[in-house]
Structure 1
């Protein structure tokens, strides 16, 4: 069973990933036509609540790199494969609030999330267990996100297909 099928089959995992993970498997078009500068394929797999889209890049299955494009012209490669992305979303659902990818930013964002979602960690752990995923620490997740977004991500340039303009990076290197 694919990870996407496992998520769909487990309502608790799907619910956590939809919120606070902001990874909804409902499909609808990105706010504009986009393409990779390399010409590699883009396959939308999920949306967020603000109009952003998660794309699998290139050919293959769930092991493909995952690029996120927001609705405001920002983009970043987030993970190499859906399992890595889901571990990130379960561990640091507030990743967007960490443009410098620091533990301090994450701690401040986590505090805000926990005020609204006091059961967040228990729900996260249940979702991870249901999907058979071991979670990294917050520091490990942010370090890996930095490595992927600021390293490998440099070769995944997203363009507005109509205008040919590049999306802005989401993280400060």
Structure 2
């Protein structure tokens, strides 16, 4: 199977949607700070956002590895188990960073603002998912999975600011 990273690079419409509103850019994988995982597992930056945040693969392997996101303000969270899960999240709930309560109501409110600016958001999202061969979860499912990964599974993925030995703050409260 072709890598999803390669597919995103080849599918211009999908790459554009992931860039905005997803704020996910495969050409921004360098994190501004020296960091490591407390567990000692490998950490590989592979994408970033416009505000200086970085998406990291954790551990050894390929695109099936857990994905940790670190913002530029010292916050981090495990947000997906594998790149396909991350891309589904970014397509379904591109405003995930602002969904602090993980509720459908909160997400609908955030979506309304995006839909004002981008009335064709749903059509663009659906075309991007089809181009990448991905079935999308319902918004409630994507948020429930984000909550599970970030607050339960993510406990073993603590990002450390290497020069000072301090952990990043969790992006989401358990």
Q: Does TM-score exceed 0.5, indicating one fold?
A: yes
Partner in structure 2 of residue 97 of structure 1: 98
Determine the structure 1 residue equivalent to 2:81.
Answer: 80
- The answer as to whether partners of 1:35 and 1:159 remain within 8 angstroms in 2 is yes
The superposition leaves residues 33-77 of structure 1 with CA deviations (integer Å, 9 ceiling, x where unpaired) of: 110000111111101010000000000000000000000000000
Q: What is aligned with 1:31?
A: 32
Q: Deviations along 1:84-117, whole A, 9 cap, x unmatched?
A: 0000000000001111211121111101111111
Q: Does 1:127 align with 2:92?
A: no
| More moved, 26-35 vs 48-57 | 26-35
Aligned match of 1:109: 110
Which residue number in structure 2 is paired with residue 170 of structure 1? 171
- Residue 28 of structure 1 deviates from its aligned partner by 4.9
The answer on whether the counterparts of 1:101 and 1:171 sit within 8 Å (CA) in structure 2 is: no
Deviation of 1:29 (Å): 2.3
Alpha-carbon distance change, 136 to 171 in structure 1, aligned in 2, over 3 angstroms: same
Alpha-carbon RMSD across the aligned residues, in angstroms, is: 0.8
Asked if the contact 1:63/1:82 (under 8 Å) is kept, the reply is: yes
TM-score, structure 1 as length reference: 0.98
Contact map agreement 1:69 1:76 (CA 8 A) in 2: yes
Q: Give unpaired runs (5+ residues) of structure 2.
A: none
Structure 1 moving runs of 4+ over 2 Å: none
Deviation at 1:27, TM superposition (A): 3.1
Q: Alignment partner of 1:124: what SS?
A: helix
